[in-house]
Structure 1
Amino acid sequence: MAALLRAVPRLRGPAAWGRPLHELWFCSGKEDPKRWVGNRSPTLKEKPPSEENEKFQMVYRFNAIRAFGYVSRLKVAQTALTVVALPPGFYWYSQGLMTFNSLCLLGGIAGFALVMLCWMSYFFRRLVGILYVNESGTILRVAHLTFWGWRQDTYCPVADVMPLTETKDRPQDLFVRIQQYSGKQTFYLTLRHGRIVDRERFMQVFGTLDRLK
């Protein structure tokens, strides 16, 4: 995973990955979250009704999240194609057109693809792409990936977010956890490869960064 992070170019310009995906992920935080470029809209999860017109400011972003989204969608497609090939494989084996060893190899590839999809999906769905905080500093908005590799926003009360100073994670680690006192969900962000956009608001949620060194 560390090698993959180093291999992903940390490009900031919109031309590098295409304008639609750039605007899809990296809105300024002042725009209406319902405005999306392209055919797909984000799935909003756990959004409080009172936050419908709330304005959010971006405090952290991880540029490589777009590449992880591509990888996630590619893995889903690859796994689907592998699994779909199983029924024809059984048919060809029954007709004597495929050997038993070839059928076992096909089944092994399909099983391995499913296991890898489950593992990658578990991690990618918890990898933070962008963090926002509302103007009053009470709601944290976490932009991450869905199982299908598209964006999803999850809203958490800042009071329920555990400061990094209270965890055992260190900022120099590849990933640090965003945990909640309620234990609802855990996310992962990388301070080594991500960028803190608004240091002051970030510290209001996660604690003083100087104490994390």
Structure 2
Amino acid sequence: MYNSITNKFNGCTLNQFRKFVYVLSIRKYSAENEGGKYIPVYNFPYIRPFTVVNRLKLYQTVLTGISVPGGAILSQLGCVSWDTAQSTTLLGVSACVMLYGIGFLTTKFIGFIYYNPETDSVKLAYGDFWGRRKDLVMPRSDVMPLSELPTTPLDKLFVTFRRYNSKETLKLDMRFGVILDAEKFKQCIY
């Protein structure tokens, strides 16, 4: 099975293969949602690793919450030394702080933007604080244009995305994001 797959893509570069996989996933998603009415306009290829980091925050917090009291109990019972319990606590807490710090930058990144010309609506798919995919459907008139947004010190890392009827701020990466349909993207964002 593996050889048949690799033979199919023998003359293909890694970037061409990634584009092929993205096109297949986008076609599958747009075909599953309301008969393919939404047209994919934007794709952020690194949304999966960002959501994995956000998911790891939860797992690391649970692991630290179990290992710190467990290490203290085992130390009191004499099974492990007090130094081992302290180093377990230090490693767990420092890993949590690191993941929450990285998670601050990777949460609420927009992974996909879809546009429906029939209803003039925009659908956003982003990763939330817990690493789950969230979909937002809104009318295009609700999207605040990028020219109306205030500048922030983090504009070099990402562009903020806002709506008129909500104070929630999402993040849009213009450097590594792939614009699939430039005309419809401008209709949605600008």
> What are the within-5 Å matches in structure 2 for residues 16-95 of structure 1?
23=25, 26-27=26-27, 30-33=30-33, 55-95=37-77
SS in 2 for 1:187: strand
The one of 138, 143, 148 aligned to 1:166: 148
Which ranges in structure 1 are unaligned for 5 or more consecutive residues?
Answer: 1-8, 34-51, 208-213
Q: Is the 8 A contact 1:29 1:58 kept in 2?
A: no
Is the Cα–Cα contact under 8 Å of residues 61 and 129 in structure 1 kept in the other structure? yes
1:60/1:169 CA distance change after superposition, 3 Å: farther
Partner of 1:141: 123
Deviations along 1:75-95, whole A, 9 cap, x unmatched?
433443333212320111112
- State the secondary structure of the residue aligned to 1:184: strand
Cα distance change of structure 1 residues 150 and 163 upon mapping to structure 2, 3 Å threshold: same
2:116 is matched by which residue type in structure 1? N
Matched, 1:124 2:106: yes
Secondary structure of the structure 2 residue equivalent to 1:188: strand
Give the secondary-structure state (helix, strand or coil) at the position aligned to 2:110.
Answer: coil
State which of 169, 172, 175 in structure 2 corresponds to 1:192: 175
Bigger CA radius of gyration: 2
Give how far 1:147 is off: 4.0
1:182 maps to amino acid: N
> How far 1:61 sits from its partner (Å)?
0.5
Q: Describe how 1:4-19 pairs up with structure 2 within 5 A.
A: 11-14=18-21
- Output the CA distance in 2 between the equivalents of 1:120 and 1:60: 24
RMSD: 3.0
**TM-score, normalised relative to structure 1:** 0.66
Corresponding residue for 1:113? 95
AA in 2 matched with 1:32: E
Separation of aligned partners in 1, 2:129 and 2:145: 27
Identity of aligned residues (%): 31
| Residues in 2 aligned to 1:117 and 1:67: alpha-carbon distance in whole angstroms | 13
Among 125, 145, 151, which residue is 2:133 paired with?
A: 151
Check 1:183–1:142 CA distance in 2 against 1; reply closer, same or farther (3 A cut).
same
Q: Mean Cα displacement is larger for which, 112-121 or 55-64?
A: 112-121
Deviates more, 1:154-163 or 1:69-78: 69-78
The question of whether the paired residues in 1 share the 8 Å contact of 2:43 and 2:179 is answered with yes
TM-score (norm 2): 0.73
Structure with the higher helix share, 1 or 2: 2
Q: How many Å separate the matches in 2 of 1:12 and 1:66? A: 15
Amino acid at match of 2:86: C
Structure 2 Cα separation of the partners of residues 66 and 84 of structure 1:
27
3-state SS of 2:115 partner = strand
Among 171, 181, 186, which residue is 1:203 paired with? 186
